[in-house]
Amino acid sequence: MKAGVLALQGDVREHAAVLAELGASPVEVRTPEDLDRVDVLVIPGGESTTIGKLARSANLVGPVVERARAGMPILGTCAGMIVLAARVEGGEPLFGVLDATVRRNAYGRQVDSFEADVEVEGIDHPVRAVFIRAPIVEQVGPGVRVLATHEGHPVVLEQGNLVAAAFHPELVGETRLHEYVLGKG
């Protein structure tokens, strides 16, 4: 299975390494043609505003939305959750395919980063989560399942083929969310 990592900003090596460890063939997605070649997409963290500018300039917004609506499994982590969300407090939605409202950088500044073990529905063991300037989910629509919470806030959401996490699992080599999404492919 070919799994794409949206490579518009930042380092995608950790996600690619996790996907390869799980037996997928990772591909960097920078163009609509790259997107056409993959079965699953991972949208990594970074700066959501920059991801939006680069996705628009690469003409990827429409193709990603189209593939998401057609059922392509997609995992968004941290800023990936923000760009998937239909509503963004203090910002504009990008892909808008996940029926959720998120608030950017709600866990604080870079110095407020932390790690925690999170119990995720459907995964046997706790998932190690790295929160770095993470979003907080303010509201979810009726078709969205909350798979995990941390301190009362949803941190992993699922809506059909879409899975979004407010944290970075890849930074500590955590594979279970990627495996979960690959299983949807």
Q: Which of 78, 150, 158, 174 is catalytic?
A: 78
Q: Catalytic: 170? A: yes
The conformation of residue 168, written as its DSSP 8-state character, comes to: B
Q: Is the CA virtual torsion 133, 65, 118, 173 positive or negative?
A: negative
Residue 27 identity (one-letter amino acid): V
Catalytic annotation present for 179: no
Catalytic residue (choose from 14, 158, 170, 174): 170
Q: How far is CA 124 from CA 121, 131, 166, 176, in A?
A: 8, 21, 20, 9
| Residue 78 is among the residues annotated as catalytic for this protein | yes
- 8 A C-beta contact, residue 154 and residue 119: no
Q: Which residue in 15, 150, 158, 168 is the catalytic one?
A: 168
Give catalytic residues, as residue numbers.
Answer: 78, 168, 170
